[in-house]
Amino acid sequence: MTTSDKASEKKPGEQGRRAPAGAAVLREDVTEAIRSAVFEELAAVGYARMSIEGIARRAGVGKTAVYRRWRSKLHLVLDLVSAIAVQGLPTPDTGSLEGDLRLLYEVTSRALRHPVASQVIPDLMAEAARNPDIDAALRKALREGQHGVASGIVAQATARGELRPGLDEELALDLMSGPLYWRAVVVRGGLPKGYVERLAAATGAALKAL
């Protein structure tokens, strides 16, 4: 463990003195532990009740380790939400439009059903109504993450001759992403049997009609 991280990351709850900016050598495993702790803490208590103390305790580090990386819980959450947009989802390539959509929906629905995601996303959406910074970051993460995948699916289907060139990609994104997020995030309670297959077929037909 580096000298700069030693005092703060070995003793949970110990505040210590913050090192000067740029002086700390930050351990990536500690950073990842804090990020994981944030998602768990969000799922457990929600954004409003989440605290740096709780995050540090859950990650097994001192508060200084958190503050050395992020100035506040807002900056921490904004950083994590923004990272979602960068990571995104891999673009399916099954050889057909309907197959690509079905695989996209299967992967996305599994992610949205995860206990942490199913609690964190609705909570952040509620918080976004009160906090414009979270609202902007959440919109960016959810929209850009899906937009890259949607563009890839449309491009592949166009190259195969399944979709006409020059269709409205924004409308295509709405058609591809809207129904699943509505069911998983708003309606909740799980998806009916065969829903993913029916949704993929219906969305594929809608895209071909654009």
Q: What are the distances in angstroms from CA 85 to CA 14, 49, 89, 139, 185? A: 33, 25, 9, 9, 18
Where residue 110 falls among pLDDT bands split at 50, 70, 90?
A: confident
Most confident of 87-91, 93-97, 122-126, 173-177: 93-97
> Which position has the higher pLDDT, 88 or 44?
44
Please return the burial class of 27, using the count of CB atoms within 10 Å of its CB with bins 0-12, 13-18 and 19+. middle
**Contact in structure between 16 and 36 (CB atoms under 8 Å):** no
**Contact in structure between 92 and 71 (CB atoms under 8 Å):** no
The C-alpha angle 18, 80, 186, rounded to 5 degrees, equals 140
Where residue 82 falls among pLDDT bands split at 50, 70, 90?
A: low
Question: What percentage of the chain reaches a pLDDT higher than 70?
Answer: 80
Is the per-residue pLDDT at 19 higher than 50? no
> Which position has the higher pLDDT, 93 or 124?
93
pLDDT digits (tens, 9 = 90+) for 180-209: 878 877 787 778 899 999 999 999 999 999
| Pairwise CA distance, residues 125 & 46, whole Å | 11
Specify the DSSP element, H or E, that contains 37: helix 28-49
Is the per-residue pLDDT at 76 higher than 60? yes
Where residue 62 falls among pLDDT bands split at 50, 70, 90?
A: very high
> How many other CB atoms are found less than 10 A from the CB of residue 113?
13
Using alpha carbons, select from 159, 156, 152, 154 the residue that is nearest to residue 210: 154
pLDDT of residue 173: 86
| Pairwise CA distance, residues 132 & 25, whole Å | 32
